Amino acid sequence: MASGRRKKSKKRKQRTILLFFEIITFIGLIVALFLALKWDRVDKEQLSESEIYYNEELIAKMEEQDSTTFKTMKGFKNIALFGVDAGETRTDSIIIASLNQENGNIKLCSVYRDTYLNLGNDTYNKANSAYAYGGAEQAIKMLNMNLDMNIDDYITVNFQALEDVINDLGGVEIDVQEVEIPFLNDYQTSIVQGLGGGKPTGEKIIPVTTPGLQTLNGLQATAYCRIRYTRGDDFRRTERQRAVLQQIALKAKASNPATLNQIINDVLPKVKTSMTASEFAEYASRAATLNVVDTNGFPFDRVTGNMGKAGSSVVADDLENNVIKLHQFFFDEAGYVPTTMVRELSNKIKNDRSSYGV
């Protein structure tokens, strides 16, 4: 008798679990459909395979089923995230987002904007100038060529979109340091007055007056993301950017449908992407199962110095070794062997560094 009750209880539990997943799936489909209906607001730029640079040696590794690269990179979707400045030419923020398709874990790695790299056209300069020279296509080529990546999609947003998202979410929790306060407030003024080529926004500035954990509004948090003059300069700034993105992700996951609808309405017109409506909707429908689990910055080991025409730059101490560490970070691939292209670029950067005495 007791055994029969346990079986019925177990069946009820199974039906409850199944119903829960059916509801989640249904909600996901509704979100995906809703987003697809609004997709016409997005600035779309489809990139064909012929327009994207792929390292043939890397692709061969990914297709060789016995290779560790096949077993690791094959299960990931890698997307370039670009944050553009007021003039929408140079990328103030370059982040690679790597999504583990199996478990939904996301890792973010900033590429420091002043990193001295081959721009994909046999010229060497700061990484953020690639977007200015040839848009997202050129910037993706730079990332794939120098880092042994297989990025085939991108999302570009301007900083007004960042403000809108944060305001729609009711702000984000950030631990502001004493030394950051004057710079944060100065950047608020710069953004509002449209310094740097943007349009004056006419927003109301609310100065941050005390350090510590606090809720920053959209303008404050965007200004926080742009601070680069404290100890750690651009390296610390990219940490701030990733911290804000993580807070946005946490609050968005806990938001109600009305808030998400407002975010979509505010942000989509300020987004440019190569992703299709169905791709974007797929990830949107999985939002509740996606988690940012780790962040970092590239190059991991670096020096700074004047690299001729490129000016003051961040230089990989050894590009080849940094690429090995990048693949370990993203894909847990131990002992990754960089391609011939990366080794050649690494040697070139070493020679340039020696020539400039960096």
- Range of 242-246, 253-257, 280-284, 315-319 with top mean pLDDT: 315-319
What is the per-residue pLDDT across 76-108, written as a single tens digit (0 to 9) for each? 999 999 888 655 566 778 889 999 988 888 998
| Alpha-carbon dihedral sign for residues 272, 275, 281, 282 | negative
Whether 161-270 and 43-152+291-356 are alike in CATH topology: the answer is: no
Asked if the model's pLDDT at residue 71 lies above 80, the reply is no
Greater model confidence, 145 or 295: 145
Residue 315 is predicted with a pLDDT of 96
Look up residue 166 and give its amino acid.
I
Residue 199 is predicted with a pLDDT of 56
pLDDT (mean) for 169-198: 85
Residue 190 is predicted with a pLDDT of 84
CATH architecture of 43-152+291-356: 2-Layer Sandwich (3.30)
The mean pLDDT of the chain is 82
Residue 148 is predicted with a pLDDT of 95
Provide the pLDDT confidence category of residue 14 given band limits of 50, 70 and 90: very low
Asked if the model's pLDDT at residue 5 lies above 60, the reply is no
What angle do the packed helices 277-285 and 2-37 form, to 10 degrees? 150
Considering only the top CATH level, what class is 161-270? Answer: alpha beta
- Please identify which residue in the block is written with the tokens 């400045």: 85
Whole-angstrom Cα distance, residue 322 to residue 149? 13
Residue ranges covered by each domain of the chain: 1-37, 43-152+291-356, 161-270
**DSSP codes, 185-225:** HHHHHHHHHTTTS-----PPP----S-EEEEE-HHHHHHHH
Residue 40 is predicted with a pLDDT of 67
Residue 178 is predicted with a pLDDT of 94
What angle do the packed helices 159-168 and 218-225 form, to 10 degrees? 140
Q: pTM of the predicted model, to two decimals?
A: 0.76
Whole-angstrom Cα distance, residue 214 to residue 177? 11
CB 169 within 8 A of CB 252: yes
* Strand ranges (E), 166-321: 172-176, 212-216, 271-273, 291-298, 302-306, 312-316
User: Which has the minimum average pLDDT: 76-85, 129-138, 206-215, 342-351?
Assistant: 76-85
pLDDT (mean) for 282-310: 85
pLDDT (mean) for 18-24: 42
Which residues make Cβ contacts (< 8 Å) with residue 45, sequence separation at least 6?
136, 272, 273, 274
CB 283 within 8 A of CB 290: yes
Residue 265 is predicted with a pLDDT of 80
Provide the pLDDT confidence category of residue 38 given band limits of 50, 70 and 90: low
What is the per-residue pLDDT across 176-188, written as a single tens digit (0 to 9) for each? 999 999 999 998 9
- 259: tokens are 């808030």
- Cβ-based burial of 349 (10 A; exposed 0-12, middle 13-18, buried ≥19): buried
Look up residue 112 and give its amino acid.
Y
Cα of 53 vs its chain's centroid, Å: 19
pLDDT (mean) for 269-294: 77
Provide the pLDDT confidence category of residue 60 given band limits of 50, 70 and 90: confident
What is the per-residue pLDDT across 197-230, written as a single tens digit (0 to 9) for each? 455 566 789 999 999 999 999 999 989 988 877 7
Residue 151 is predicted with a pLDDT of 94
User: Which has the minimum average pLDDT: 158-162, 239-243, 294-298?
Assistant: 158-162
